[in-house]
A and B are shown apart, each in its own frame.
Chain A
Amino acid sequence: MTKTKTILAALAAGLLASTSALAGDVRIMWYSDGVEGEVLKDLVDRFMKENPGINVILDNVSYSVVREQLPVQLEAGDGPDIARVTNLKAQSQHWLDLRPLVADAAYWDENFGAQADWMRPDGSSQISGFMTQITLAGGFANKTLFEQAGVAIPGKDATWDDWAKAAKAVAENQQVPFAMALDRSGHRLTGPVLSYGANYIGADGKPAPLDQGTKDFLKKFIGWIEDGTMSKDVWVSAAGSTYRAAADDFINGQLVYYYSGSWQVPNFSTKIGSNFDWVATGSPCGPVNCTGMPGGAGLVAIKYTKNPTEVAKVMDYLAREDIVKEFSERTLFLPAHKGLLAKGLDFKTDDAQAKEALNAFVAATGSLSDLAQKLPGWFWSDTFYGAMVTRISQAAAGEMPVEEAFTRIDADIAAKVKDSGL
């Protein structure tokens, strides 16, 4: 009997060991828009040479895995040890507090404190991670098409209407299929909506019903899709809140003006090369301001890790100034590190267009509205974005009038708030 018990205990122990992380293993879930996965691999390899007791496993996944599968893993109390995530605030209850674990919490507060609130529960002083990149939504114009059409590129304070008019003139002249495109994303839609004076946040901190500013831009936007100024392909290409980008149309020279964001710079630099000239234009102006939307991806530690000490060591290493500098310069990403931003960066590219575009985005950070800076840290941002994308797509596809879409957006958001029990 004792022998049987011993065998069963050994089997159970073996089973447990096979299903849990080995001591010293740190698993990172990572997605890439460009070359950042390769750069991170170099950095991680160096870390493992310096720290032979820690084995860092890099799981390169698609963005949709981070958006759709990671949340389910986290809800189940599972998942990687570290993850690169964009939906930072709404999942902040799953992040590990690194404050007692990192070597120098003051260094983290000083250099990454400005965005710390984006990734921690409200009212907490937790250190959850750091932004691997700060992004800013903004526009890109195909300069070659403008020149060939003999149309002047609208200036710094040009409005959305100015851009629509100019882009349409170029598209007609150059016989390209799309004048303008805006990614199928609520985040992207929010920049122009805010420039029309919108406010998503109610007095109680929960989502407010759509206001006049939001409705004004959304009506204009759907009107542009209907008259062919704005690419219909991107917005009607899926149901629900699925993300779709129009980057390939811009890269293929089929699009005159593309509203996306700073993360496209390395992508364009690599894929467009010398095929045509392009420029970053910042965000067009609305009646109230010329804001874009800030955002980015953060690297966060997951609180379900079996190896928190090792995780903190990896995070300390990746957040080091010299490592952030190398990562940002090689990936052409704007860093969040305050000290590094003050010292400046030398982006590793021979592409003058890319350097100029990055500078344009840095300059555009000066025109961000207060609300735009607040939204990345607002719990309900993604709920708002999802509802807008779903219903605006339906209106753009002709399934419902725009006024009904507005009613549905409000109802969808109210239902989500009710479902959450918050």
Chain B
Amino acid sequence: MRTHNSGKSSLGALVMAPIHFLMGILDAPLRWLQRATGIGGMAAFFLMPNMLIFGIFVLLPFFINFAYSMTGGTALFLPDRTFVGAGQYARLFDCRSYLDPGSCAEDTFWTAVKNTAWFVVLQVTLMILVSLVTALILNRDLAARSFWRAVFFFPVLLSPVVVGLIWKWILQRQGLLNFGLYGLGFDPHVWLNDRNWAFAATIGVSIWAHMGFYTLILLAGLQAIPKDLYEAAEMDGTRPARAFWRITLPLLMPNLLVVVVLVLIRAVQIFDEVYVLTGGGPGTSTLYLTQYIYETGFAAQLRNPGLAAAASILMGAVLVVLTLLQLGLGRSEKKGGRK
């Protein structure tokens, strides 16, 4: 027994040796640094690698993008572009009525804003409802519960392009859905040519593709709720609906809050699966903001990186507001919890 233990410890010592050696080298300079800068300086030192990555890949592109949004012309390099100040923003906001995209100079931008706003309202509401209901069902003692959890999570693993293509094959004129309808004696319908159906399809497909992830978060929250609360409520004769409103929902709120914000941010950024499924059509009925930015900056015959950058800064501002909202709600939730 002793031999076994000593073998284990000698293996551990062998594995740890290079780490101890490295620590030995670092120990003296780190102690010197702590003496020189104090505890606060050490925190900054250890945060620096992450901050550096964040700065290079998030902050720097943001500032470059902002600089682009103040320039005009079709040239790609910033030094080759002409400074136009807030000209691109003025062009985006040049409208007689913001509620009527047709009255705007950049009508396509406002159509994309309107479509995105509707998409966010409908998709976020439905996504949360569907994810919550699914999580509640999957939290029950179902037969083959693990299998069902895997089934709902599986679409999350698919690439958005694959998701778009699968649903295109289902919904197109000679697709699986029409084949089924025809077999049942119904008239086929060209779903993706119909403005309303195409819009509904983008919502449905995005829910199908991502609900598994949010269901998982909510399921984790449901499983963290102590069972004895329900048992006590049952002993008091509480109806299941009341237990849901008074126990489940309040205790699930932190998870629900995370889900709401994640779904909101993802909905504002919607692009990939919709681009493959409808290409923004029919007409511009499923043209969302990210596609507008992509097409203006990259796909148009004469690209306008300045206008695309200005639109993306505005979209970024919306995302910042949503994130601040999450932080604010998170804080008030914590305060509420303390009370």
The residues of A with any CB-CB pair to B shorter than 8 Å are 67-69, 71-72, 75-76, 87, 90, 177, 232-233, 236-242, 244, 382-383, 385-386, 390, 393-394, 396-400, 404, 408, 411, 416, 419-421
Q: How far is the CB of A229 from chain B (nearest CB, A)?
A: 16
Given A72-B76, A76-B76: A236 and B300 interface contact (C-beta under 8 Å):
no
Contact B287 A420 (CB under 8 A): no
Contact B73 A419 (CB under 8 A): yes
Q: In the complex, what residue of chain A is closest to B291 when comparing beta carbons? A: A239
Which chain A residues border B281 with CB–CB below 8 Å?
Answer: 236-239, 393, 397
Could you say which of B4-12, B145-153, B190-198 contacts chain A?
Answer: B190-198
**Could you give, for residues 207-247 of chain B, a 1 whenever the CB lies within 8 Å of some chain A CB and a 0 otherwise?**
00000000000000000000000000000000000000000
Contact A239 B279 (CB under 8 A): yes
Q: Does B253 contact A (CB under 8 A)?
A: no
Given A68-B299, A72-B298: A419 and B304 interface contact (C-beta under 8 Å):
yes
Q: Does B284 contact A (CB under 8 A)?
A: yes
Q: Does B41 contact A (CB under 8 A)?
A: no
Could you list 19 examples of A-B contacts with CB < 8 Å? Answer: A68-B298, A68-B299, A72-B76, A233-B190, A236-B282, A237-B193, A237-B279, A238-B279, A239-B283, A241-B301, A242-B299, A244-B279, A382-B302, A386-B300, A386-B302, A390-B108, A397-B285, A399-B284, A419-B73
Q: Does B272 contact A (CB under 8 A)?
A: no
Q: Which of A87, A242, A394 has the most CB of B within 10 A?
A: A394
Which residues 283-332 of B sit at the A interface, judged by CB distance below 8 A? 283-287, 291, 295, 298-304
A75-B76, A404-B102 known; 15 new pairs, CB 8 Å cut-off, are A67-B299, A68-B298, A72-B298, A72-B303, A75-B75, A233-B193, A236-B193, A237-B282, A238-B278, A239-B287, A390-B108, A393-B283, A394-B284, A420-B302, A421-B72
Contact B284 A420 (CB under 8 A): no
Which chain A residues border B37 with CB–CB below 8 Å?
Answer: none
Contact B303 A71 (CB under 8 A): yes
Contact A241 B300 (CB under 8 A): yes
Which chain B residues border A240 with CB–CB below 8 Å?
Answer: 279-280, 287, 291, 295, 299-300
Across the interface, B74 reaches (CB within 8 A) one of A69, A236, A404, A420, namely: A420
Across the interface, A397 reaches (CB within 8 A) one of B77, B82, B195, namely: B195
Q: How far is the CA of A40 from the CA of B108 in the complex (A)?
A: 41
The residues of B with any CB-CB pair to A shorter than 8 Å are 72-77, 82, 102, 105, 107-108, 173, 190, 192-193, 195, 278-287, 291, 295, 298-304
Which chain B residues border A239 with CB–CB below 8 Å?
Answer: 108, 279-281, 283-284, 286-287, 291, 295
Which chain B residues border A394 with CB–CB below 8 Å?
Answer: 283-284
Q: Is the interface of B mostly helix, strand, loop or mixed?
A: loop
Contact B107 A408 (CB under 8 A): yes
Q: How far is the CA of A404 from the CA of B104 in the complex (A)?
A: 13
Contact B76 A419 (CB under 8 A): no
Q: How far is the CA of A411 from the CA of B75 in the complex (A)?
A: 21
Across the interface, B301 reaches (CB within 8 A) one of A72, A87, A398, namely: A87
Which chain A residues border B173 with CB–CB below 8 Å?
Answer: 177, 233
Q: Is the interface of A mostly helix, strand, loop or mixed?
A: helix
Which chain B residues border A397 with CB–CB below 8 Å?
Answer: 195, 281-285
Q: In the complex, what residue of chain B is closest to A411 when comparing beta carbons? A: B105
Contact B300 A238 (CB under 8 A): no
Q: In the complex, what residue of chain B is closest to A69 when comparing beta carbons? A: B298
Which chain B residues border A244 with CB–CB below 8 Å?
Answer: 279
Q: How far is the CB of B179 from chain A (nearest CB, A)?
A: 14
Q: In the complex, what residue of chain A is closest to B306 when comparing beta carbons? A: A419
Q: How far is the CB of B43 from chain A (nearest CB, A)?
A: 32
Q: How far is the CA of A75 from the CA of B77 in the complex (A)?
A: 8
Across the interface, A232 reaches (CB within 8 A) one of B73, B102, B193, B284, namely: B193
Which chain A residues border B193 with CB–CB below 8 Å?
Answer: 232-233, 236-237
Contact A419 B283 (CB under 8 A): no
Q: In the complex, what residue of chain B is closest to A75 when comparing beta carbons? A: B76
Given A239-B291, A240-B295, A421-B73: A385 and B279 interface contact (C-beta under 8 Å):
no
Which chain B residues border A404 with CB–CB below 8 Å?
Answer: 102
Q: In the complex, what residue of chain B is closest to A393 when comparing beta carbons? A: B283
Which chain A residues border B299 with CB–CB below 8 Å?
Answer: 67-68, 240-242
Q: How far is the CA of A390 from the CA of B106 in the complex (A)?
A: 13
Q: In the complex, what residue of chain A is closest to B80 when comparing beta carbons? A: A75
Q: How far is the CB of B291 from chain A (nearest CB, A)?
A: 7
Contact B283 A399 (CB under 8 A): yes
Across the interface, A242 reaches (CB within 8 A) one of B195, B279, B283, B303, namely: B279
Q: How far is the CA of A55 from the CA of B108 in the complex (A)?
A: 46
Q: How far is the CB of B191 from chain A (nearest CB, A)?
A: 11
Q: Which of B193, B298, B301 has the most CB of A within 10 A?
A: B301
Contact B82 A421 (CB under 8 A): yes
Q: Which of B74, B173, B302 has the most CB of A within 10 A?
A: B302
Contact B190 A399 (CB under 8 A): no
Which chain B residues border A232 with CB–CB below 8 Å?
Answer: 190, 193
Which chain B residues border A233 with CB–CB below 8 Å?
Answer: 173, 190, 193
Q: How far is the CB of A13 from chain B (nearest CB, A)?
A: 24
Q: How far is the CB of A352 from chain B (nearest CB, A)?
A: 30
Q: In the complex, what residue of chain A is closest to B172 when comparing beta carbons? A: A233
Which chain A residues border B298 with CB–CB below 8 Å?
Answer: 68-69, 72
Q: In the complex, what residue of chain B is closest to A381 when comparing beta carbons? A: B301
Which chain B residues border A177 with CB–CB below 8 Å?
Answer: 173
Q: How far is the CA of A37 from the CA of B291 in the complex (A)?
A: 31
Q: Which of B105, B280, B283 has the most CB of A within 10 A?
A: B283
Which chain A residues border B280 with CB–CB below 8 Å?
Answer: 238-240, 242
Which chain B residues border A386 with CB–CB below 8 Å?
Answer: 300-302
Q: How far is the CB of B25 from chain A (nearest CB, A)?
A: 20
Which chain A residues border B303 with CB–CB below 8 Å?
Answer: 71-72
Q: How far is the CB of A326 from chain B (nearest CB, A)?
A: 34
Q: In the complex, what residue of chain A is closest to B75 when comparing beta carbons? A: A75
Contact B300 A237 (CB under 8 A): no
